[in-house]
Structure 1
Amino acid sequence: MPDEFLESLCWQARYPLWCRLLSGASSDGSYVLVAVDEDHDVTGFAAVGQVRDQDLAMADFFELYCLYLLPQYWGLGIGQKVLRSALGALPPDARGMSVWVLTENVRGRLFYERQAFTLDGSTRVEDIGGASFEELRYRLSWLDGQSCER
């Protein structure tokens, strides 16, 4: 993402949204999981909700909107724990989860592949901060009548 865009982000503008999400007051069933260290400092978070892609909406899929960790916490298993917590919080009738990952985010793509997510062939281009980015869709699904190891 362009540095100028990232530097222009203002936490104050998103404060009401984060208050609503973290309070659990979301009307659409979305939720946020927060990872903290032993000092209760935030190390990362994940947001999950109803899938936004029409082709998965009728399949009882949910979407991992994002999973972010501070770089100093990468490779410590925290991302995997947050993801497993997100999967564990899904309703019992959920059939899977999807996530969109920037094509250029090799580290992120490998993370999801190690967690048994697979590319499903869907791509899209997102305009973020005045630049266009290609994303690939990954899915983790389980068969009817079987539960995913969550």
Structure 2
Amino acid sequence: MAPEHAQAVTDCHVRCWREAHADVLPPHLLDALRTGRGASRWLRVARDPLIETRVALADGAVLGFASVGPARDASAPTALELHALYVRAAEHGTGLADALLDSALPAATPCTLWVLAANPRARAFYRRHGFREDGARGLDPFALLPTLRMVRGALA
């Protein structure tokens, strides 16, 4: 991800949330998501040497992205965390999410991630990539919905 992708990644992120969570988030929360906000966050991510973000582009539009960096919770069983993996709904089933994940995080790399408990599609996707629930639970700070941690190749 280059700094000039920050706004397009923000736009993609918001659209993905609206597409993926319309059935579990109330409309007022989805409406609160704004594409104009968040670009400064993604600009910081693009400039952070500890975070690797891969972006899928087609004709200048961001179709999806994957972001991996240091684990953000002290109890994480791995050093790395998949911070984000989002793909536009039109790209579901095309293999783009697989390619982004493999590009940002090779298959043998131990990693944790947090996913909404109410997102069975994402949970199944991560299980296909070797992730397993480890029993840790949390709460998404924006949606205030339960999350669960999944782990692949936990360190001993």
* TM-score normalised by length of structure 1: 0.76
- Measured against aligned partners, the alpha-carbon deviations of 1:62-117 in whole angstroms (never above 9, x if no partner) come to 111111110010011110110011114xxxxx961111111110000000001111
SS in 2 for 1:54: coil
1:95/1:143 contact within 8 Å kept:
no
Match of 2:96 in 1: 78
* TM-score normalised by length of structure 2: 0.74
Deviates more, 1:118-127 or 1:66-75: 118-127
Paired residue for 2:147, among 135, 142, 150?
A: 135
Match of 1:125 in 2: 139
Match of 2:64 in 1: 44
CA radius of gyration, larger in: 1
Over 3 Å counting, the alpha-carbon distance change for 1:47 and 1:73 in structure 2 is same
SS in 1 for 2:36: helix
Percent of aligned pairs with the same amino acid: 32
What is the CA–CA distance in structure 1 between the aligned matches of 2:67 and 2:41, rounded to whole Å? 12
- Measured against aligned partners, the alpha-carbon deviations of 1:20-76 in whole angstroms (never above 9, x if no partner) come to 333xx115x123211123x242111112111012122xx652111111110010011
The runs of 5 or more residues in structure 1 that have no matched partner are 89-93, 145-150
Match of 2:116 in 1: 102
**Which residue identity is paired with 2:153?**
S
- Higher helix fraction (1 or 2): 2
The runs of 5 or more residues in structure 2 that have no matched partner are 1-24
Over 3 Å counting, the alpha-carbon distance change for 1:50 and 1:102 in structure 2 is same
CA RMSD for the aligned pairs? Answer: 2.4
How many residue pairs end up in the alignment? 132
